[in-house]
Amino acid sequence: MSLMRLAYLAALSLVIAGLVHIGSLLGVPRVATAGPYERLGAVGADGRFAVLADEGDGANLLPFRDPAFVTAACRFDLAKGPVTVTAALPSTYGALSVHSRYGQPFYSLTDRAATDGGVEVTIYSKDDVAAAEIEDPAEGRPQLRIVSPTPTGFVLVRLFAAAASARPALRELAGKAACGPAVTRKLSS
């Protein structure tokens, strides 16, 4: 076997191994049995925000959690209709992010987008957003409308705690965030 042929086979093997490795990494979220959506169900985050624990088993529900942040989570299911999320975001730094069932974020905003310290976002399914455009009068429409790529998902509110003494107040603020059915407004016929 020539040296050129051996080098070609080695390079081809590395390329194939790399493609298999990347494909398996990209496929893990789809085949994982206990993704973030399922793990958040254990803390009672269905249709309401649950503040996640700072320590212990509950602190590891979500990967890559920053210990400097207080985190609250809410699971949503758009089969029951649109969902409205409201949260107060402090000026120190706060963020609201909306994730698909598999954990991929598809919308995020920070305290810079807050009006008077609060944000309101309505999440729609692909089918509901067109109907909402027709049915909702312009003056009654929510300011932020987003379309979810999946019928279920979750919302995270993350609030930065500059010091340990700020955590209790931020945990209370995160717990006051609301996540529930959107108010439907119909035009009178």
Can you give the pLDDT at residue 51? 92
| Count of other CB atoms within 10 angstroms of residue 145 | 17
Give 128-173 pLDDT, tens digit per residue. Answer: 877 776 666 556 555 788 999 999 999 999 999 999 899 999 999 9
Burial of 168 (0-12, 13-18, 19+ CB in 10 A): exposed
Answer whether 166's CB lies under 8 Å from 69's CB. no
Which residue bears the tokens 């700072």?
Answer: 54
Measured distance CA(104)–CA(153) in Å, rounded: 9
Burial of 79 (0-12, 13-18, 19+ CB in 10 A): exposed
pTM above 0.85, yes or no: no
Residue 187: pLDDT over 60 = no
Can you give the pLDDT at residue 186? 42
Q: What is the DSSP letter of 179?
A: E
Give 40-57 pLDDT, tens digit per residue. Answer: 888 888 888 999 988 877
